[in-house]
């Protein structure tokens, strides 16, 4: 994935699917989507220098493809291997809250999509009763609806394609079906990216993900000791501090860990 000249971003134009799709025009829409993907994926492959750049541009392409003027979409892509995230990319510059959603949860729609090998659709986060911590952080980022699709990379792990909208009910049944078609068509390029990531870049990325998880776990333990609370309560305190200060969760965790001396911890975060 090494190219010169114009970047992939320069070549991206949104795919405009017909509105009010009927059964008879589904094949036409699928053909249009195939043509769109062939052209754009060629551009991405030729112009991307690194795996990270390829995934970022693919996330950007996906976000543009499924956005509408009144409801823009953000997209995240994560590659996992042995249940650990080794590569993640976002369509834009995510807020601290959305950035934390990529790596820092042991439960949520992404984990569920991987474990169950099934699409997870949250029409409206305000009505969602599962994954309380995840939902709270997604709402802090201004999101209202979420769609997560697993991409089976066979022996190369699993990838997730996550789409976020600030509008509730953004992903109707026709759009979900179209995105499922899209996900199937991008699986092979993402599998190639996963294989490349498993080479020269894998070790550094995995270490970074593990370091981020470790510092959060340490901070949770410190807050538990300081406030004599449960693990879930301690994590919620950190999430609340992250949201109220508009600081990434791992940065809050680093501050908590950095505040600890052999004698005692100097900082207490309270809800």
Residue 209 pLDDT > 50, yes or no?
A: yes
pLDDT tens figures, 151-184: 998 877 889 999 999 999 999 999 999 899 889 8
What does the domain layout of the chain look like in residue ranges? 8-12+23-199, 204-259
Complete DSSP assignment for 164-182: EESSTT-S-HHHHHHHHHH
What's the mean pLDDT when you consider all of the chain? Answer: 75
Using alpha carbons only, give the angle 7, 10, 15 rounded to the nearest 5 degrees: 125
Residue with tokens 């409801």: 71
Distance separating alpha carbons of residues 224 and 52, to the nearest angstrom = 36
The CATH class that applies to domain 204-259 reads: mainly alpha
Specify the pTM.
0.62
Q: What is the DSSP letter of 129?
A: -
- Which homologous superfamily does the CATH classification assign to the domain defined by 8-12+23-199? GAF domain (3.30.450.40)
pLDDT (tens digit, 9 = 90+) per residue, 35-55?
555 566 656 655 555 778 888
């Amino acid at each position: 994935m090494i190219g010169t000249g114009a970047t992939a971003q320069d070549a991206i134009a949104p795919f405009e699917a017909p509105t009010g799709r009927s059964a008879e025009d589904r094949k036409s829409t699928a053909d249009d989507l195939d043509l769109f993907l062939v052209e754009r994926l060629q551009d991405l492959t030729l112009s991307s220098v690194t795996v990270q750049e390829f995934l970022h541009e693919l996330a950007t392409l996906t976000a543009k493809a499924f956005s509408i003027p009144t409801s823009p979409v953000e997209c995240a892509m994560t590659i996992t291997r042995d249940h650990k995230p080794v590569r993640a990319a976002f369509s834009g510059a995510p807020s601290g809250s959305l950035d934390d959603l990529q790596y820092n949860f042991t439960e949520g729609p992404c984990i569920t999509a991987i474990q169950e090998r099934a699409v997870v659709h949250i029409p409206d986060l305000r009505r969602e009763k599962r994954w309380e911590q995840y939902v709270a952080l997604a709402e802090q980022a201004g999101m209202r609806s979420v769609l997560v699709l697993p991409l089976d990379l066979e022996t190369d792990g699993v990838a997730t394609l996550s789409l976020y909208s600030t509008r509730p009910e953004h992903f109707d049944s026709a759009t979900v079906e179209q995105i499922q078609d899209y996900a199937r068509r991008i699986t092979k390029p993402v599998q190639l990216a996963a294989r490349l990531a498993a080479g020269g870049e894998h070790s550094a990325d995995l270490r970074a993900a593990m370091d981020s998880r470790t510092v959060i776990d340490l901070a949770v333990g410190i807050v538990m000791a300081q406030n004599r609370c449960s693990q879930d309560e301690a994590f919620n305190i950190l999430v609340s501090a992250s949201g109220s200060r508009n600081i990434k969760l791992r940065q809050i965790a680093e501050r908590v860990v950095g505040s600890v001396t052999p004698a005692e911890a100097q900082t207490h975060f309270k809800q």
